[in-house]
């Protein structure tokens, strides 16, 4: 299985080959993580990885898998405190460049996007509105010098609606007292009950810029809200909500799929 040499009757691998293979794959991930942490220089990193892989018969697919795993562990290490500083971002970019891996390989489990989101949040909290996303085809009519800081697709847009129902009420029962004379008992009036429920109105794209919240739905629901017209933000596990500065305003909720990031991003943009 590993060395392409006979392993014996009904056997597919040598025990020593398997042990060496397992050890080398682990060491490849540890080597990349060490480079991310800055304990190992990135210069010559691919050659050192190959020096581990070749004697242990680790194929190219497994080398890439373990190298990316080591890089992902570096991302987890840096994001453990909820913040990605510029030096940590630079290390991740440097190691990715040394390995020769791009966004597609590094984002197999969403870690490349995690790094980008953390960097975007840091930029905004530092007062920068330079866009890190390249959006060339979008439905929004942006104002002059306005940048899309982040774009969410497939966002479910909901509003709180008040439903009114008429409940109760009875005509009662007529009891005959004598011929031609009846008395009605149990007669009472109904009343109106108001019930608030969240209703999904559309699904589409949500853009956050340094000035506005934009939404463009597939069903025709489109609008733009300036941050200065928003009086409150509401965090949800899968998105965020806003309440506009209007007497009859009801919560408007956007299910982005990443509540922590979208809520922190929109609230920090509103503070700029």
Task: Determine the number of helices (DSSP H) and then strands (DSSP E) in the chain.
Answer: 7, 9
| CB contact burial 26-40 (16+ within 10 A = b; e otherwise) | ebbbbbbbbbbeeeb
Average pLDDT of span 145-156:
95
Cα dihedral across residues 252, 254, 259, 262: positive or negative: negative
pLDDT tens digits, one per residue of 72-115: 999 999 999 888 999 999 999 999 999 999 999 999 999 999 99
Q: Where are the domains of the chain?
A: 15-125, 148-161+196-271
Average pLDDT over residues 202-207: 97
Tell me the whole-structure pTM to 2 decimals.
0.80
- Eight-state DSSP code of residue 141: -
Give the CATH number of domain 148-161+196-271; options: 3.90.1150.10, 3.40.50.10540, 2.30.29.30, 3.40.50.2300.
Answer: 2.30.29.30
**218-238 per-position pLDDT tens digit:** 999 999 999 999 999 999 999
What pLDDT does 63 receive? Answer: 95
Q: pLDDT tens, 138-148?
A: 999 999 989 99
Average pLDDT of the segment spanning 22-51: 95
How many residues appear in the chain?
272
Query: CA-CA distance, 68 to 212, in Å (whole number)?
Result: 37
Percentage of residues in the chain having pLDDT higher than 70? 85
Q: Assign residue 29 a region: left if phi > 0, alpha if psi is -120 to 50, beta otherwise?
A: alpha
Work out the mean pLDDT of the chain and round it to a whole number: 89
């Amino acid at each position: 299985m590993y060395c392409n040499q006979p392993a014996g009757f009904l056997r597919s691998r040598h025990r020593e080959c398997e042990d060496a293979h397992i050890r080398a794959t682990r060491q490849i991930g540890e080597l990349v993580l060490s480079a991310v942490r800055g304990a190992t220089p990135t210069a010559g990193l691919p050659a050192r990885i190959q020096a581990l892989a070749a004697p242990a018969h680790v194929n190219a697919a497994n080398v890439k898998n373990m190298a990316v795993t080591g890089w992902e562990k570096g991302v987890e290490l840096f994001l453990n405190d909820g913040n990605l500083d510029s030096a940590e971002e630079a290390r991740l970019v440097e190691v990715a460049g040394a390995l020769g891996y791009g966004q597609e390989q590094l984002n197999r489990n969403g870690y490349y996007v995690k790094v980008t989101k953390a960097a975007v949040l840091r930029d905004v909290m530092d007062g920068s509105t330079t866009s890190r996303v390249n959006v060339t085809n979008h439905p929004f009519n942006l104002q002059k010098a306005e940048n899309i800081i982040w774009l969410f697709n497939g966002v479910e847009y909901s509003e709180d609606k008040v439903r009114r129902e008429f409940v109760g009420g009875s005509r009662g029962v007529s009891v005959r007292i004598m011929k031609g004379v009846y008395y009605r008992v149990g007669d009472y009036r109904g009343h109106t009950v108001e019930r608030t429920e969240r209703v999904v109105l559309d699904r589409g794209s949500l853009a956050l810029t340094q000035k506005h919240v934009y939404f463009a739905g597939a069903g025709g629901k489109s609008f733009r809200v300036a941050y200065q017209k928003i009086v409150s933000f509401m965090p949800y596990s899968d998105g965020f909500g806003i309440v506009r500065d209007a007497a009859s305003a009801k919560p408007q909720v956007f299910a982005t799929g990443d509540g922590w990031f979208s809520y922190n991003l929109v609230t920090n943009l509103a503070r700029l």
